[in-house]
Amino acid sequence: MLFLFFEKTQKKGGAWATMVFSSLIFLWLFLPVVFVLNTILPSRYSNGLLLLASLIFYAWGEPVFVLLMALSIVVNWAVGRGIGCRKAYGKLFLALGVFFDLSVLGYYKYAGFGADIINHLAGRRLLPVAEAALPIGISFFSFQAISYLADVYRGETKAQDRLINVALYISFFPQLIAGPIVKYKDINRQLENRAVTGEKIAAGFRRFIYGLAKKVLISNVLGRSADMIFALDVAHIGGGMAWNGALLYTFQIYYDFSGYSDMAIGLGKMFGFDILENFNYPYLSRSIGEFWRRWHISLGSWFREYVYIPLGGNRRGKLRTYVNLGIIFFLTGLWHGANYTFILWGLYHGVFSVAERLGLKRLLEKSRVISHAYLFLTVVFGWVIFRADNVKDAFLFMKKMAMPWLYRELDIAWWRYESNMTVFVLVCGILGMGILQTAAPKKAGDLWKYSAAESLYCVALLIGCIGALASGTYNPFIYFQF
């Protein structure tokens, strides 16, 4: 009944609008006000201020979902206290808490998908297909809540007595709606005691500006063209256009998500928090295994620690290891959304991960060129599955990429969908995915970092971002839907 209340108070058909970091209201009003207040108020009021700011941030689009978050906070705080105080019933409390978190996540994100599958298998409408709006960031804050309960149950941290600290951990606005996923044991001490220094603030602003530039000046530009290509009827595009769209989306999603993570980490530093890294130049990897140690690091780490290792990890023989990997990649795909394409994308990565353990990785290690090419092509084809509206379109799209010479007559002039600026930004994106950073001498990087030249560069980036935001309306965040 409670879930139905939240459903009926929302508009149907997807996630509601919310404040985003790359919006003028955030940059000109929300962030300055919160930052100044946090700086001038005594430190003992910081958690309360940041909690209030986080709830306002989350409620910007549809305030009613704050009630759902508040319920999640209170339940997980109470369950955590139960685990800490009633050791003999710790496993029971943990099971109840995880059941609650997964039930909320399952209802809002997967109930309609599950009902649709059952109806399809039955050949008739046995169950109503739920149309509840999707609370933004529910996958992120649900996983953080489970992390808190698991860490307390394992004795890796104590149950938090103060409700406000649990509330801030779950709702902290910098990483609330698109990560990184923060484990409680990695941040619990910072909730109690942290220092906001000038050095940390400077590092935070620097990191935030770089992330904002990734999002506004690169991802948005590439995404506008990528969206136009993927909106076309797949049957009417050629191999060249298919490759064009796949490459544009490959770099759009990287700069979108890594840019958001950079902004989240930067914002955390401004308020005294050290949030762990979430990306480490993943497209420079040489295997799928390495890719997942560099891409969305917090999600991979969460599944490894709370699912893969409890399942036995690689300690129970090769066959069990492969099965465990399959489960993890299936769940990774499902975590991204209730769609067959996401599940297929996860299993696709799982197949390559298992193949590498069966011997493919040894072959790849013989050539850096071949291993880099293998990884990049594998990831690009995977993003087509991820981006496509359905599995049928994904396979047709990939078929045209694999055999472009068969579809040359269908190719549409690329300049109808890409401006010279898009091509220039794509080149910059390719060079900036880690190629320039790793090629530059370390000494040059040390001289550049925090120099007057870098400060001027950051100011120029910020001005460019504000100008782009003021003149345009295309400003999506891909991972908000997850």
Q: Hey, what amino acid is at 15?
A: A
- 231 shares a domain with 215: yes
Task: Provide, rounded to the nearest whole percent, the portion of the chain with pLDDT above 90.
Answer: 60
- 185 shares a domain with 203: no
**pLDDT band (50, 70, 90) for residue 442:** confident
Domain count, the chain: 2
Domain-located, residue 343: no
CA 335 to chain centroid: 10
Model pLDDT for residues 393-421, shown as the tens digit of each residue: 999 999 999 998 887 776 676 667 788 88
Model pLDDT for residues 70-87, shown as the tens digit of each residue: 999 999 999 999 998 877
Residue-level pLDDT at 257: 94
Residue-level pLDDT at 3: 45
| 3-state per-residue secondary structure call for 69-100 | HHHHHHHHHHHHHHHHHCHHHHHHHHHHHHHH
Question: Which of 301 and 4 is assigned the larger pLDDT?
Answer: 301
Q: Say whether 336 is catalytic.
A: yes
Among the candidates 163, 194, 225, a domain finishes at 194
Among the candidates 158, 177, 194, a domain finishes at 194
Domain-located, residue 102: yes
Residue-level pLDDT at 10: 41
Token output for 134: 């999707």
Domain-located, residue 327: no
- 176 shares a domain with 57: yes
Predicted confidence (pLDDT) at residue 1 exceeds the cutoff of 70: no
Predicted confidence (pLDDT) at residue 473 exceeds the cutoff of 70: no
Q: Which of 296, 336, 349, 372 is catalytic?
A: 336
Token output for 452: 């007057």
- 164 shares a domain with 138: yes
Domain-located, residue 409: yes
The stretch 86-100 carries a mean pLDDT of 88
Q: Are 150 and 105 in contact (CB under 8 A)?
A: no
- 150 shares a domain with 231: no
- 242 shares a domain with 138: no
- 249 shares a domain with 122: no
- 449 shares a domain with 402: yes
Ramachandran angles phi, psi of 464, nearest 5°:
-65, -40
- 242 shares a domain with 99: no
Task: Provide, rounded to the nearest whole percent, the portion of the chain with pLDDT above 70.
Answer: 93
Residues 6+ apart with CB under 8 A from 255: 214, 215, 218, 219, 222, 429
Residue-level pLDDT at 11: 39
Q: Of 36-45, 118-127, 131-140, 283-292, which gets the smallest average pLDDT? A: 118-127
**pLDDT band (50, 70, 90) for residue 90:** confident
List the one residue out of 342, 306, 339 whose CA is nearest residue 324. 306
Residue-level pLDDT at 136: 82
Among the candidates 194, 212, 241, a domain finishes at 194
- 159 shares a domain with 250: no
DSSP 8-state symbol, 130: -
Report the mean per-residue pLDDT for the chain: 88
- 245 shares a domain with 140: no
- 59 shares a domain with 206: no
Model pLDDT for residues 368-395, shown as the tens digit of each residue: 999 999 999 999 999 999 999 999 999 9
Token output for 347: 């299993």
Q: Which structural domain, as residue segments, surrounds residue 179?
A: 10-194
